[in-house]
Amino acid sequence: EVDAKYIRGMLNEPDLQPNATINRWIQGILLFDFKLIHVPADKFRGPDGLSRR
């Protein structure tokens, strides 16, 4: 579960990312079998520190 909708787009369209480092991360992540579920920020209970500054 994640509260950042843009992650779904990054994983669905990995070739659109301009950064080679991000593309390598996405390729590694896509090796796993998982289901990405969007949860609105006000209902999200997971770690959130990396997406907020």
| pLDDT mean for each 10 residues of the chain (53 residues) | 70 75 86 82 64 57
The span from the CA of 16 to the CA of 41, in Å, is 26
| Residue 11 bridge partners (DSSP) | none
Report the pLDDT value the prediction gives residue 32, as an integer from 0 to 100. Answer: 93
Report the pLDDT value the prediction gives residue 21, as an integer from 0 to 100. Answer: 85
The span from the CA of 51 to the CA of 44, in Å, is 12
| Residue 38 bridge partners (DSSP) | 2
pTM recorded for the entire structure? 0.52
Report the pLDDT value the prediction gives residue 40, as an integer from 0 to 100. Answer: 75
Report the pLDDT value the prediction gives residue 31, as an integer from 0 to 100. Answer: 93
Report the pLDDT value the prediction gives residue 22, as an integer from 0 to 100. Answer: 82
Domain that holds residue 16: 1-53
Strands (E) across the chain are located at none
Q: How many domains does the chain have?
A: 1
